Amino acid sequence: MAELEHLARSTSADPDLVAMLTDLFATYRSTRPAPTELLDLDLGLWAQLDELGLTRLTASEASGGSGASWVEGSALLGLAAAAGAPVPLVEHGMLGAWLLEEAGLPNDGALRTVCRPDPSGRALNVTFARDSASIVALWEDADRWRVADVPTERVGLTQSRNLAGEPCDTVEFELVDLASAPFVDDSVGHQFHLRGALARSAQVCGAMERVLEVVLTHTREREQFGRPIGRFQAVQHLVADIATESSLARAATDTAVARAAASQWQDPGMLFAVGVAKSCVGHAASVVVRNAHQVLGAIGTTLEHELHVLTKPILVRRSEYGSVHEWDETLAELAASAGRDRLWPLILTGRR
């Protein structure tokens, strides 16, 4: 019980920070250009976030960061995603800055992205690679992990874009740059996947909550047959499903974030907690995106409407750092190995 109370106290981000972030991204949403098919890095917003110390919010103060916890980091990711902000907060700050710290490498604050190259030095779907000054690579070398910070001009880069229209490139590293990089603790390789999965979950939750706001506004304002469409039972069912699925995803994600913050990612139950979050978020994403587009109909498919700026990234994020199917399998394996007697403790604490 004491552990649960401690986690409950850890779920609330600093209210002043949240208020500032809410105002910042509300202003951004009201002043940004009309959406297009492409979602390029917003350098103006990135400079503003950097000036406020938000691009490396969770990095230690010793490394030039702000020293905030993952609770504050999750709030930042959610509100930025709700505004459809095309900025690499996860890649640069939540993951890149952390990897550099773990490897003892300097961090000058220049824009970075992250990836995990395969044994040949090739990495697919590296978001914002073309916009980065360097790329932080976590590379497995003979069952050990190395972290390299490689200037972008030293890599081969094939430009592409993901479903959301974001820069999402293929990167080819020189093996000499990876093989000469410093080793890091074995736990870093495991944590990288978990941290990435939880960060993406926080982003999807924020975007889904904004989708709910958009849908509710539409159902109040749009009329058919002389009354708002929100009064029709079929529409109410669609909206209710969006709300319940978003709430479930948020609860699971906040629980994992609180556990991560309370234990500095050392809690042995993090795999289960992140798995639950990623699974709930992934399944919720399907319902939220489908129902939102059903409620808005043709309006929600127009290029100028905000909805696709939210739903496309949701569909991209839910499959990054492990697909829904992969995380469902992980949870099933953990539950099966726990057995009947240890299943409830597994659900309660994440430990078998």
> What's the pLDDT tens digit per position in 45-90?
999 999 999 999 999 998 889 999 999 999 999 999 999 999 999 9
Q: Average pLDDT of each block of 10 consecutive residues along the chain (352 residues)?
A: 40 86 94 87 96 94 92 97 96 97 95 97 97 97 95 97 95 96 95 98 98 96 87 95 98 96 93 97 98 92 89 96 96 92 85 73
Residue 320 lies in a domain: yes
- What's this model's pTM, rounded to 2 decimal places? 0.94
Q: What is the CATH number of the domain that holds 107?
A: 2.40.110
Instruction: Note whether 175 and 239 are same-domain residues.
Output: no
Query: Based on the domain organization, do 232 and 340 belong to the same domain?
Result: yes
Q: Does the residue 1 lie in any domain?
A: no
Q: 94-106 burial, b if ≥16 CB within 10 A, otherwise e?
A: bbbbbbbbbbebe
**Are 145 and 281 members of one domain?**
no
Q: Are 164 and 310 in contact (CB under 8 A)?
A: no
Q: Give yes or no: residues 292 and 241 share one domain.
A: yes
Residue 66 covered by a domain? no
pLDDT per position as a tens digit, 226-270: 899 889 999 999 999 999 999 999 999 999 999 999 999 999 999
Asked if 257 and 308 sit in the same domain, the reply is yes
CATH number at residue 267: 1.20.140.10
198 in the same domain as 345: yes
Same domain as 225, residue 110: no
With vertex at residue 101, the alpha carbon angle to CA 100 and CA 107, rounded to the nearest 5 degrees, is: 55
Cα 128 to Cα 54, 171, 207, 308, 324: the distances in Å are: 18, 11, 19, 20, 24
Residues 334 and 202 in one domain: yes
| Parent domain of 97 | 90-184
- Residue 39 in any domain: the answer is no
* End residue of a domain, out of 184, 214, 246: 184
Of 301, 227, 249, nearest to 235 (Cα)?
227
Domain total in the chain: 2
Q: Are residues 340 and 272 in the same domain?
A: yes
278 and 306, same domain (yes or no): yes
Structural domain ending residue among the three candidates 156, 184, 212: 184
Residue 154 lies in a domain: yes
Domain shared by 257 and 166, yes or no: no
Q: Are strands 168-172 and 156-158 parallel, antiparallel or unpaired?
A: antiparallel
- Among 130, 163, 184, where does a domain finish? 184
Angle at 72 between CA 71 and CA 77, to 5 degrees: 100
76 lies in a domain?
Answer: no
Q: Are residues 195 and 312 in the same domain?
A: yes
Q: Give domain status of residue 260, yes or no.
A: yes
